[in-house]
Structure 1
Amino acid sequence: MNAPAAVDPVRPAEGDRYDAIVAQFAPRERVLSTILLRQAKRYGDALLLRCGGVEWTYNDTLAVAAAWAGQLASAGIQAGDRVAIFCGNRPEFLQVYLGCAWLGAIATPINIAFRGAQLSHVLNNARPKLLVVENIHRAVFDSVDEGATIPSLVWTVGKDGITDGSDAVLAPASASPDEIASPPLVRPGDTVAILYTSGTTGPSKGVCCPQAQLFWWGIYSARALGIREGDVLLTTLPIFHTNALNAFYQALLNGCTYVLEPKFSASGFWPSVRRHKVNVTYLLGAMAAILLSRPSEQGDRDHGLRVALGGGVPERFHASFLERFNVPLVDGYASTETNFVFASPIPSDHPGSMGYLMKGAEAIIVDGDDAPVPDGEAGELLLRPVEPFSFATGYLDMPEKTVEAWCNYWFHTGDRVLRGPGGVFRFIDRVKDAIRRRGENVSSWEVEQVLMQHPAISACAVYAVPSEMGEDEVAAALELKPDMAFDPVDVTSFCETRLAYFAVPRFLLVLAAMPLTENGKIKKIELREAGITPDMWDREAAGYKLKR
């Protein structure tokens, strides 16, 4: 199976800069300890981290990693042991993460929104030797199933820092850069973190991310965003997911400052951008739309923000965001299992697309038998890396899922994508979101785009429900704009003039709020599992006849 050659890098003018950074690290050196040692020597007392009133220079960060590796080792943590972290965006998260990466232990962040059976599943899959939990979340572990793997060794993150089981504050002694002992031998293919998927299509899977994968995240993402030495990078996304975590590597490898805020705030976003003199930030899904929904202000362009990641931001918001805030949004595509592999120019020449295949990955689009399909035809996107260990190595203790995903030496993304003229890639929907209705294929994404044009609808999700005639029926969950009434006949007739008859939703369900993951993705699995519910409006039961 031959892959087409990758197109030229999206940032050809910047290519030499990132290639030069890569050249500084031989393949065996693409591990966090070596990166910290080398970058501390280069940048010294320049600021690397600002979080919650805490500031670390590059030298400080090196000392933190070595000191907390020693603290973990004193607690009995060894290379390969898993350390679960149940904590929000705080410097203590990074203290533990950096210590694990230096030592060769495996940081295992857990989404702080997980509860009950979902949390029990992750604990039983990860089997951590140590649990580091933020004090405000301690009670969450009372809800886990009996028999869940909660380790006997628990550290608590509180207002004074991290405490052990005796409530003694842990404060490992740090050394100057010249006094730090050589780190343990860690290889680029060793797992540095296990990041759990949101479980939108089934139980959460623990993605095994090697040391070198995070190195390449720092290179590929920086290239996509045009990051420059000395930039200030701001993220409000949760650090237990790959986006915020890899932004730390972007800063570290490119000589930048990483600003980590507790969470996204529409009212606080621009003040933070101005206060920290931010150049680059990360907006996903609805975040750009939320900022645009706020009243215009005279100082909307009074900032130093140069570019923002806009992955998943709908096409209709790109131009208005640029016009109002003078900030271009970068389209892109990445996943925890892979890397930042698609990006648009700055600004995007095809807003709302995935952009172009970047340097560092190969891609093909295939049918159900893994045979390539021609340009312009939708199929599943398959990816594979160019550099060793730049993608994840599999799913923790899920060999069948690992083999299924990496079948035929390609990673199967589960995303339906098409490659258009000029090499631009467009996301259609998830393979499992495709709906088969009476012999016709229905794209949930296409139906959602139509529904989002309706003046009363603020959010929607289209999914399959069982049909009494076999195959599927089309259902749509809707969230309405404030003070808007729901008229199912009006919504149906609106769709009827814009969609093929077989794609018009039969069932409509109004929700006060969509079920969301911590990253803001709609949990379609919850909607699918609920199936046809009594509060749904049924077009056929109502006697509405579609015109054909």
Structure 2
Amino acid sequence: MTENQAPAITSETVGQEMATPAWALAMISFPPSDRILPTILSRQAERYGERVLLVSGDTRWTFAQTADIAAASAQALVDAGIKPGDRVALMCSNRPEFLQVYLGCAWLGAIAVPINTALRGFQLSHIFRNSSPALLVVEAQFVSAMESVEAAVELPPRTWIIGAAAATIDPRLCASPLPALTAATPAGAIRPGDTVAILYTSGTTGPAKGVCCPQAQLFWWGIYSARALGIREGDVLFTTLPLFHTNALNAFYQALLNGCTYVLEPKFSASGFWAAARRHNATVGYLLGAMASMLLAQPNGADDSMHRLRVALGGGVPPQIHAPFLARFGVPLVDGYGSTETNFVFAGAIPSDRPGTMGYLADGFEARIVDENDSELPDGQAGELVLRAREPFAFASGYFGMPEKTVDAWQNLWFHSGDRVVRDSDGHYRFIDRMKDSIRRRGENVSSWEVEQSILSHPAVAGCAIYPLPSELGEDEVAAAILLEPGQSLEPVDIIRHCEGRIAYFAIPRYVRIVSRMPLTENGKIKKGVLREAGLTTDTWDREKAGVRLRR
């Protein structure tokens, strides 16, 4: 273990309660059989009572009220004929009703299936086909999305609508309003390994896979994330990320397990982020990918550092952003790595001692970098990251209805991340790219990440995405989509000249496309698939056709 690695979580490390981190107390307070949501909610309700757990718009739930809401929501599900193990599809934006339904499922032993609110057509049809939900709970503004579901796909036999729906809805829906909460039901007979949610991946290499997340996995997300972020009892956790993804959902568990308040905003706003953080007296924030860059791009203000935010998650934030972000806002960004299938596996120091890396391997996990035959590679050599958890059910249990994909991903009993990673001799892990994003150009492997970092070092560049386009010679050509800083201008050839001497000649892009905006996911990640599928657009500059020769 390196000096920066998180300490082992054992009862021997837990001292007096006053000096013990809340996450360590929670780990001791909930032995393995108790790492299920009904037990966690009930016990924390007894401990914290009238302390506020959730703030969402005008809604405030105390710890005690949240336990009551979960039990009453479960009764509403029972009244609708939902049984333990049934799937409940949930298409809803960041609002209390999302959590109400999720908690009811978790209390009963049903399985919540959150759906990305942007999905339509084939993607939405696939989720219904794969998960076969017994109930659909949909926010009124997304009811029309059901019309895009393929006619051959069977929709759930019952639908609850959140809010006032349009006068006409898809006739295939047997719809009624979300029922009011009344009576409560006892918690179901739930085990830590039981699936609490099926979260769908982006499906970039094929149909989206439904990740089966056990009850205990969300418990461990709450423990490990709190440890990485240095969360303290009484903190105010402030997120604008969508609840249908892991990050915002597990932040709720962080608040629940650590005696904190969870503030859920509808969506990320670069212009309104700091005002909202001040309004809520937030102490911990959650930023991914381009979000930190977007905040830095806002006009400087006299109140930039007038807030209580002590730390923010900064996974995927470019390394050159960390220092100016800390200098301007006074907030260190925490490097980290996790996935829907795994947990908060890697975490950096606060502030980061190597910005932009994945950080160090956290206690509780094992990691290897392997070649195509699953043989371990030495430090400094890139390969696929494979992972194991030491705690039972700290990782997902597989992909719903896709046994072949599950076996493939958990080959040799290690989870294969699909990420190309390097472990440095000092214990830092560095993300290189997705295995599928590695570009093969004329016999050479090109790391999209390394090319992106080179281009992002140009002061006029705000964003960059490197992706492959087909070559006339077979294999790939390197393409770059460039987003400029406001008020800046560059010619495509300037990008080429900037890369020369910084990366290998064969990795320098042939194609350059200056864009006014990047296609982004709800988490602020660039949708490279959109750029790849667009191919050679009319605004794509071709270095070879322009007659620009590389200086070697």
TM-score higher than 0.5? yes
Determine if contact 1:435/1:441 at 8 Å carries over to the other structure: yes
Counterpart secondary structure, 2:328: helix
The answer to whether residue 346 in structure 2 is matched with residue 337 in structure 1 is: no
Shift of 1:501: 1.0
Residue 537 of structure 1 aligns to a residue in which SS? strand
Structure 1, residues 76-134: CA drift from partner, whole Å, max 9, x if none? Answer: 11111100000000000011000000000000000001112111112211111111110
Q: Distance in 2 between matches of 1:401 and 1:429?
A: 21
SS in structure 2 of the partner of residue 340 of structure 1: coil
- TM-score, normalised by the number of residues in structure 2: 0.93
SS class of match (1:245): helix
Which residue matches 1:77? 82
**Cα distance change of structure 1 residues 511 and 292 upon mapping to structure 2, 3 Å threshold:** closer
The alignment status of 1:189 with 2:189, answered yes or no, reads: no
Q: Does 1:281 align with 2:285?
A: yes
2:206, 2:489 → 1: CA distance?
34
Question: Which moves more between the two structures, 500-509 or 81-90?
Answer: 500-509
1:10 to 2:15 alignment: no
Q: In the TM superposition, what are the counterparts of 1:387-536 in structure 2 within 5 Å?
A: 387-485=391-489, 487-533=491-537, 535-536=539-540
Aligned partner of 1:21 in structure 2 is 26
Structural mapping, 1:354-393, within 5 Å? 354-393=358-397
Which residue, out of 165, 182, 195, partners 1:173? 182
> Greater CA deviation, 490-499 or 413-422?
490-499
Q: Which residue of 1 aligns with 2:94?
A: 89
Does residue 54 (structure 1) correspond to residue 53 (structure 2)? The answer is no
1:351 equivalent in structure 2: 355
Does residue 119 of the first structure (1) align with residue 124 of the second (2)?
yes
Amino acid aligned to 1:511:
V
Separation in structure 2 between the aligned mates of residue 60 and residue 49 of structure 1, nearest angstrom: 10
Change in Cα spacing, 1:485 to 1:316, as seen in structure 2 (3 Å) is closer
Q: How many aligned positions are there?
A: 536
Which AA in structure 1 matches 2:123?
Answer: Q
Pick closer, same or farther for the CA change 1:516–1:168 going to 2, 3 Å. closer
Letter in 1 for 2:524: G
Counterpart contact for 1:213–1:392, Cα < 8 Å:
yes
> Which stretch of structure 1 is more off in the superposition, 200-209 or 507-516?
507-516
Match of 1:154 in 2: 159
Deviations 1:267-308 (A, max 9, x none): 221122122111111011111112122222222222211111
Call closer, same or farther: CA 1:526–1:169 in 2, change over 3 Å.
closer
What code does the residue aligned with 1:435 have?
I
Which letter maps to 1:121?
A: H
For 1:423 and 1:411, the matched residues in 2 are separated by 20
1:135 aligns with 2:140: yes
CA contact (8 A) 1:116 1:145 kept: yes
Q: Following the alignment from structure 1 to structure 2, what is the Cα–Cα distance between the partners of residues 187 and 256?
A: 25
Aligned to 1:178: none
Partner of 1:315: 319
Query: Which sections of structure 1, spanning at least 5 residues, go unmatched?
Result: 176-180
With over 3 angstroms needed to count, the CA separation of the structure-2 counterparts of 1:258 and 1:461, relative to structure 1, is: same
SS at match of 2:462: strand
CA-CA distance at 1:532 after TM superposition: 4.0
Paired AA for residue 6 in structure 2:
V
Task: Compute the displacement of 1:6 (Å).
Answer: 8.2
Q: Structure 2 CA distance, aligned partners of 1:426 and 1:199?
A: 24
- Residue of 232, 239, 244 corresponding to 1:240: 244
Contact 1:7/1:359 (CA < 8 Å) preserved in 2? no
SS where residue 478 of structure 2 aligns? Answer: strand
Whole-Å separation in 2 of the counterparts to 1:79 and 1:235: 30
Deviations 1:428-485 (A, max 9, x none): 1111111121222111111111222334432221122222223222112223344544
Cα distance in 1, alignment partners of residues 308 and 539 from structure 2: 49
The letter for the 1-side match of 2:130 is N
Q: Distance between the aligned counterparts of 2:3 and 2:527, measured in 1?
A: 34
Distance in 1 of aligned mates of 2:83 and 2:62: 27
- Structure 2: stretches of 5+ with no match in the other structure: 15-20, 166-172
Distance across 2 between alignment mates of 1:95 and 1:385: 30
- Between the aligned partners of 1:168 and 1:470, the Cα distance in structure 2 is 55
Instruction: Report the 3-state secondary structure (helix = DSSP H, G, I; strand = E; otherwise coil) of the residue aligned with 1:422.
Output: coil
1:166–1:200 Cα change, 3 Å: closer
Amino acid at match of 1:65: A
> Which residue in 2 is equivalent to 1:305?
309
Cα distance per residue 1:373-427 (max 9 Å; x no partner): 1111111111111101000011111122111111111111111111113201111
2 CA distance for matches of 1:509 and 1:8? 41
**Contact 2:236–2:282, Cα closer than 8 Å, also in 1:** yes
Find out whether 1:270 has 2:274 as its counterpart. Answer: yes
**Matching residue's letter, 1:172:** L
Contact 1:21/1:253 (CA < 8 Å) preserved in 2?
yes
Residue 4 of structure 2 contacts residue 349 of structure 2 at CA under 8 Å; is this kept in 1?
A: no
Secondary structure, aligned partner of 1:421: coil
Q: In the alignment, what sits opposite 1:102?
A: 107
Secondary structure, counterpart of 1:497 in structure 2: coil
Secondary structure at 2:551's aligned position in 1?
coil
Structure 1 residues 222 and 303, CA gap change in structure 2 (3 angstroms): same
CA distance in 2, matches of 1:92, 1:272: 21
How far apart, in 2, do the equivalents of 1:257 and 1:215 lie?
17
Cα RMSD of the aligned pairs, angstroms, is: 2.1
Q: Which moved more, 1:195-204 or 1:417-426?
A: 195-204
Amino acid of the structure 2 residue aligned with 1:357: L
Q: Equivalents in 1 of 2:433, 2:549: separation in Å?
A: 28
Question: Structure 2: which amino acid aligns with 1:285?
Answer: G
Asked if the contact 1:208/1:396 (under 8 Å) is kept, the reply is: yes
Q: Secondary structure at the match of 2:345?
A: strand
* Identical-residue share of aligned pairs (%): 62
| Counterpart-to-counterpart distance in 1, 2:183 and 2:55 | 19
Kept in 2, the 8 Å contact 1:217–1:339? The answer is: yes
CA shift for structure 1 position 158: 0.7
Secondary structure in structure 1 of the residue aligned to 2:398: coil
Aligned counterparts of 1:228 and 1:75: Cα–Cα separation in 2: 40
Q: 1:488 and 1:266 mapped to 2: Cα distance? A: 28
Cα deviations by residue, 1:38-93 (Å, 9 ceiling, x for unpaired): 11111111111111211111110000000010000100111111000000000000
Single out whichever of 71-80 and 506-515 deviates more from structure 2.
506-515
Match of residue 200, structure 1, among 189, 199, 204: 204
Residues 459 and 7 (structure 1 numbering): CA distance in 2 closer, same or farther, change over 3 Å?
same
Cα deviation, 1:192-242, whole Å, max 9, x if unaligned, reads 000111223332211110000000000000000111111111111001100
In 1: Cα distance, 2:456 partner to 2:318 partner: 10
Structure 1 Cα separation of the partners of residues 486 and 203 of structure 2: 30
Aligned residues of 1:64 and 1:174 also touching (Cα < 8 A): no
